[in-house]
Amino acid sequence: MSQLAKKRRETEIYSLSFLDCICCGFGAVLLIFILTIARKTEVDKSDVDAARDKLRKVETQLTLNKEELDRLAALLAAAQLELQAINSRTAEEQVKLSNRRRELLLMLQQIGALKDALHALLGEKNALPTEEAPPPVPIPNIDRRQYLTGVKLHGEFVVFLLRTSGSMLDDTIDGAAQRLLDPDDKKREAPKWQRVIQSLIWMLANLGPDTRFQILLFNDETTSILPTRGEEWFSTKDQKTMSEIVARLHAIVPKGPANLERAFTAVRFLPRLPDSIVLLTDGLPTQSDSIPMEGDIDEGSRVRFFEIARKQLPPRIPVSTILYPMLTGDPGAPGLYWELANGTRGALVSPSKSWPDT
């Protein structure tokens, strides 16, 4: 029995201790597996929650962006409507301004015709028999002073700006171009130019005894009537100087373009600013230093030249314009010079062809 038992015991492969080790190892593996699965579940849940939070933030930002986009779209639509309204009003104002300028030109023409009629009536009146002797001094009488009503000739210092461009030879562009081919002596005798010269002499004769003046001539350049005395102020009491000025006026030959920008700039650099400015011209400038142009200059460019020149004027000085309007070429000139007179508290006068002759 003991040998049989011994044999049986020898045939056993696994002992109790070995099985216990196997079970413990298997249990440890199961425990590790269970702990790992739980941890992975916890990590996955955290990632999902974080992703959901991020999604909610993105959706919130998307909603805000959409609301902002809608607001900007509404503002853009309102701005477009306002721009359309402004463009419409601007077009209407441009039409009204053009109508006003045409009406002003018509009024100036009518005023010139009325002045001619009045002058004729005054001539008939003066032709009537009278016991009074004619005035010995050749200065216009009181009946003709109305032609300068509103022109700012008062003040201690007055500057006369006299345009001497080729356009001053005739009332039309074609006529002026034709007269430019004449010799200098005939250019000086051109009726329109003689009317301008006589008008300036008439105004000089009507200056107050204490008034001092300067005359600047402008075409493509601006110079004093007496070039060597450009920084002086003249007096009508100085008979020698007055004779030189009158002789110089009769010797001028109109030629070239008209640069009003240089003329107004020259006024700014006088030793002493004037109390008033009197501009004798026949239309808008045809040249500008700020916008150099060659060839034919259209009306739009001349308007731009005028606006640029106007900016060179010293402030708070009345500018009165004696306008001898061209019958062709500058329909907007009367309106622009009227705006200049109104803006500077000056005046605009368009004399008839008989003024200031007796």
Domain spans, the chain? 49-127, 142-349
Q: How far is CA 18 from CA 7, 13, 21, 32, 249, in A?
A: 20, 10, 5, 21, 140
137-146 long-range contacts (CB < 8 A, ≥24 apart) are 138/205, 139/205, 139/206, 140/202, 140/205, 140/206, 140/356, 140/358, 144/355, 144/356, 145/206
Asked if 238 and 286 touch (Cβ cutoff 8 Å), the reply is no
Q: How far is CA 220 from CA 29, 33, 352, in A?
A: 108, 103, 27
Q: pLDDT, tens digit, for every residue of 283-311?
A: 999 999 999 888 788 889 999 999 999 99
**Mean pLDDT value across residues 133-148:** 42
pLDDT for res 223: 96
pLDDT for res 115: 81
Q: Tokens 């142009």 — which residue?
A: 293
> In what helix (H) or strand (E) does residue 192 lie, and over which residues does it extend?
helix 191-205
Q: pLDDT, tens digit, for every residue of 178-233?
A: 999 999 999 999 999 999 999 899 889 888 889 999 999 999 999 999 999 999 99
pTM: predicted TM-score of the whole model, two decimal places = 0.62
| Closest to 218 in 3D by CA, of 156, 163, 143, 147 | 163
Going by pLDDT thresholds of 50, 70 and 90, the confidence category of residue 42 is: low
Q: Which listed CATH number (3.30.1360.200, 3.40.50.410, 3.40.50.300, 3.60.21.10) goes with 142-349?
A: 3.40.50.410
pLDDT for res 135: 33
Distance between CA atoms of 249 and 232, rounded to whole angstroms?
17
Q: pLDDT, tens digit, for every residue of 70-116?
A: 889 998 988 888 898 898 888 888 888 888 888 888 888 888 788 88
* Confidence check: pLDDT of 19 > 90: no
pLDDT for res 31: 79
Contacts of 207 by beta carbon, 8 Å cutoff, 6+ apart: 153, 158, 213, 236
Percent share of the chain, pLDDT over 70: 84
